[in-house]
Amino acid sequence: MYVLMLGLGGVLFPTSGFPEPVEQAVAALPITALTSGLRSVLVDGSLPGSASFAVLAVWTAVAALLASRLFRWE
- Rounded to whole angstroms, what are the CA distances from 19 to 12, 15, 22, 25, 30? 17, 9, 5, 10, 19
pLDDT tens, residue by residue, 30-66: 999 999 999 999 998 889 989 999 999 999 999 999 9
Beta carbons of 11 and 36 less than 8 angstroms apart: no
> Is the full-model pTM beyond 0.85?
no
% pLDDT > 70, the chain: 100
pLDDT at 10: 85
**What was the pLDDT predicted at 74?**
82
**Distance of CA 6 to CAs 1, 21, 28, 29, 44, Å?**
9, 18, 14, 11, 21
Distance CA 51, CA 71 (A): 29
What is the model's pLDDT at position 5?
A: 86
